[in-house]
Amino acid sequence: MLQVHTLKPAKGAKHSVKKIGRGNASGHGNYSGRGGKGQTARSGGSRGLRLKGFRRLMQSTPKLRGFNSQYSKPAEVYLNDLEVNYNSGDTVDFASLVEKGIIKASAESAKILNTGNLTKKFIISGVNATKSAVEKIKAAGGEVK
């Protein structure tokens, strides 16, 4: 029978109070969960701007005269790479460069640089090239579209 002296709160409705300031053995002694002295011990005390995860990016960005992003540069492809990885008469495009592992799949664009000698003829399409690289490709009998 329900009587005043038998009333109890529902299970899980009541929580025990965290006992602080009762010694280090309690786990909440010494500073009683309020940290150290000074600014951090005061109400509203904080330690300024903390961009978690962006710290490395913020610190690596130059602060004066602008900067060139490391992500905006095209991937570099050398004439030696084409000589080794392609056969004469092959078409060189962005997809084939990624497929052969000459550039990473995350690259946004590619540019052929005049480094090395070229004896095979290639058809270059959809890839930028320096003027001197275009001259060498055409001299070997290839074409640039």
Q: In sequence order, what are the residues at sequence separation of 6 or more whose Cβ sits closer than 8 angstroms to the Cβ of residue 90? A: 96, 122, 123
Asked if residue 88 is part of any domain, the answer here is yes
What's the predicted TM-score (pTM) here? 0.52
Residue 112 belongs to domain spanning:
75-144
Q: How far apart are CA 122 and CA 114, in angstroms?
A: 14
Asked if residue 126 is part of any domain, the answer here is yes
Judge whether 125 and 93 are in contact, CB under 8 Å.
yes
Determine the pLDDT at residue 48. 65
Amino acid present at 45: G
Number of structural domains found in the chain:
1
Express each pLDDT in 77-130 by its tens digit.
999 999 999 999 999 999 999 999 999 998 889 999 999 888 999 999 999 999
Asked if residue 130 is part of any domain, the answer here is yes
Asked if residue 85 is part of any domain, the answer here is yes
Judge whether 144 and 134 are in contact, CB under 8 Å.
yes
Asked if residue 131 is part of any domain, the answer here is yes
- Sorting pLDDT into bands at 50, 70 and 90, what band is 61? confident
Determine the pLDDT at residue 42. 81
Express each pLDDT in 4-52 by its tens digit.
999 999 999 999 999 999 999 999 998 888 888 888 788 777 766 666 6
Query: What stretches of 5-134 adopt beta strand conformation (E)?
Result: 75-78, 91-92, 110-113, 123-124, 128-129
Q: How far apart are CA 132 and CA 145, in angstroms?
A: 15
Asked if residue 47 is part of any domain, the answer here is no
Distances in Å between the Cα of 101 and the Cα atoms of 20, 71, 83, 107 are 61, 19, 14, 12
**CATH code, domain with 124:** 3.100.10.10
Asked if residue 43 is part of any domain, the answer here is no
Determine the pLDDT at residue 45. 72
Determine the pLDDT at residue 86. 92
Average pLDDT over residues 46-75: 74
